[in-house]
Structure 1
Amino acid sequence: MGSWELAQRWADALDGVVAPTLNRSQIEEMLAALCTGLIDAARGGEDPDIARRAARMLVAANYRDPAAVSRTVRVICSDLVEVAADGSDDPAWPDISDRAIVLAGDFAAGFTAALRGAALAEQEATLAAVLAAAEEAENRRALSEARFEAVFDGALVGIGTVDMTGQVVNCNATLAHMLGQTPETMPGRTVADILGPQNLNAAFIELQRMVAGESESFRTETEHLHTDGRVTAIDLSMSAVRDAEGAIQFLIGVAVDVTERKQLADQLWHDANHDALTGLPNRPHLFSRLAEAASPIGVCYLDLDGFKEINDLWGHTIGDRVLRVVSARLRDTVGPLGALPARIGGDEFLVLVERCAGEGQLNDLADELMTALAAPLEVNGHMLAVGVSIGVAYFDEPPAAADELMHAADAAMYRNKHDARAAIRPRGAHRTGPALGQTS
């Protein structure tokens, strides 16, 4: 399977996501060009921007639905890996899979940035139109005021004006709704009174500076807390409108509700930084945390024993459920400590402990993990047992390269593997044959 067939699979995955600017043939041609670069990047190519460029091209083609992201991520993490590896026995498969995860994360981040850029471009155009209309109102008041009111009242973005005492002159229904008000209740009141003390944040401080004549404009993203507990994320731009002599007459603000976009960005970040099967942080997220970890740090490296036999005997569906149960136990055990559990691949996990008290703390944690994970699991009416080998490593300062830390913990795990197995055998943690599963 080459780039063209991969492009067709991608196009099939995107089927149903609205993109009126392109027909099917044009979509396949666009995706085929992107697939060539993505395949090369998955194989270790040197185009670091290919995934983000792909995201920008899809947004430009009017793919702006969140479904375009989730479907594309699946194509990158599955179909792209299959094409790039060119066969499941390829020894480079793990590296290709890791690169595909990074590409998926870059695509998600690029998609969010492209969406935000498109929204901001529309906001800038709206603000420019409003300011132009306001300027025209000074020169041709009768005609331009009617035009301004039409834009003002019918705009899908929030628009409001404030005088130099900080009182609202007028606002449209969109802005009033964002703030939990009505267009009738806002004029004549101060901004501070409308917002309430809980919303007098950095945006309000910038507005005060404009009222005092200390700045000409500002732009920021702020959150508005409603009385019912809802939070609206608002992208706010404000500018001063001057008369022919240069004196400020009033301030005009344009607000865009970006709550859904922010929620989408948060979801995309979570998806890119967490394992889809278990919900634990993934390898790239772990490495990112390691780069900023507070010293000293400790790690527990875990490798499941007997998991291959479970997959062979009961199938990968049961194996996946076992991994979910193991991950839940891992999360419950380390959660009270504030440690970070992560799945780094296959049946391998790692726990990062920041501000670690020493090897004694790590050994105690390893014992707790051993006890929690060695207990039999009930999956679909089967009692399964899987053992675990754990290695610990303690560092006064994090190594310069995260791979050094991983190697040290991995080596400790293999040194202790025989002892770890001996410690959990009496509990029936892992054996081959019937001990791996019993019908309840």
Structure 2
Amino acid sequence: MKLELGNFYVKDIVFGTRTAYADGILTINKEEALAVVKEDEHITEADFVIVKPGDMVRLVPVKEAIEPRHRIGGGSIFPGVTGDLMQAGNGRTLALKDCSVLVVGKHWGGFQDGLIDMGGEGAKYTYYSQLKNIVLVADTDEEFERYEQQKKNHALRWAGMRLAEYIGSCVKDMEPETIEIYELAPVTKRTVEENTLPNVVLVLQPQSQMEELGYNDLVYGWDCNRMVPTFMHPNEVLDGAMISGSFMPCSSKWSTYDFQNFPMIKRLYQEHGKTINFLGVIMSNLNVALEQKNRAALFVAQMAKSLGADAAVVAEEGYGNPDADFIACIVALEDAGVKTIGLTNECTGRDGASQPLVTLDAKADAIVSCGNVSEMIILPPMETVIGELQALARDGLSGGWSNDAILGPSVREDGSIIMENNAMFCGDQVVGWSTKTMVEF
């Protein structure tokens, strides 16, 4: 498979009479974009706001992030989701870089939603404060889940994907400013030089715990709860085969933007043919029952060994119950003779003193920590709030609360907030671009 990602680098975003890109300026026709959003009759209110790094703006509840793209030669940028099923990872896809489409609820949030500060102290906690963002602020008539803590957010998330396709299409007839090429030969047809290097496989465990459909990550539109570990080409992940789900404490979540730009995949590509032979991706899952977890771990280990893997990197989306899948997978790989590194965040409590993972094993002796989900964060009032600040306290966001006997409410009367890192939108970045570092005292 050979994937060409043609990049256009967005320096600024403005509203105008037509949706177009020129000289680094992305112009959006607001009325046309709203018409795309409102193709779903469940969208009752919608508007757009443009936010940029350094703006004193707080966004909450944030539900999704997507990179605007266009697939050359036809087909949707999310096969099996926004268009017909087709192979992802081949050909040329155009991408508008340094920007994203953010989807924000106008009122109602839930367990899986988060917060972004574009400026001030809070900006350092999430990657998305570094991007120019087209923010879709919308509400729906999905009354059946309005008061549910866990929401599918279907209408809003799908509206964001349609919007990303609409915006991305403005560069369809243009030559990209740079081109990234991602190409791997079939595993059995690598060069002699590649085959002399250590064989490395990346194991991804996307969120798939919910047995009811509609909450989990999707692979080509297929709910990951219904899959068994599957060997995938890394290009498929980078090219729209994976869609973020709506269930996961937000700092642990992998957004669709994260899948489209997966830094760990790109880093392994950089080392391919130099220090490693990058075999590809084993897409696993996160299960509920212990037997299911152990079965998936055995599948992964067998697949890695059959591929000839000498080493593996395992990354989990989430914490708590998924820790059992994560550790079981690492142990099974180690037992198969595959040296394994794990990527995960931790839940060590607000004081940092609790056991970091629900389950541990002596064989899991090489783990990269991406931060503590329970770390307390206190932020001052923000000049502008997009969405509804009270959602952080009222609607069960995983890092917020309506009232605490000692700390009081997450949202204080002056607009300042106290919350756990849990509520930072995709804040831990297990995918590989976390800005956090470890300090030893």
TM-score (norm: length of structure 2): 0.24
Compare relative contact order (CA 8 Å, sep 6+) and give the higher one, 1 or 2.
2
TM-score (norm: length of structure 1): 0.24
Report which of the two has the higher share of helix.
Answer: 1
Larger radius of gyration between Structure 1 and Structure 2: 1
Report which of the two has the higher share of strand.
Answer: 2
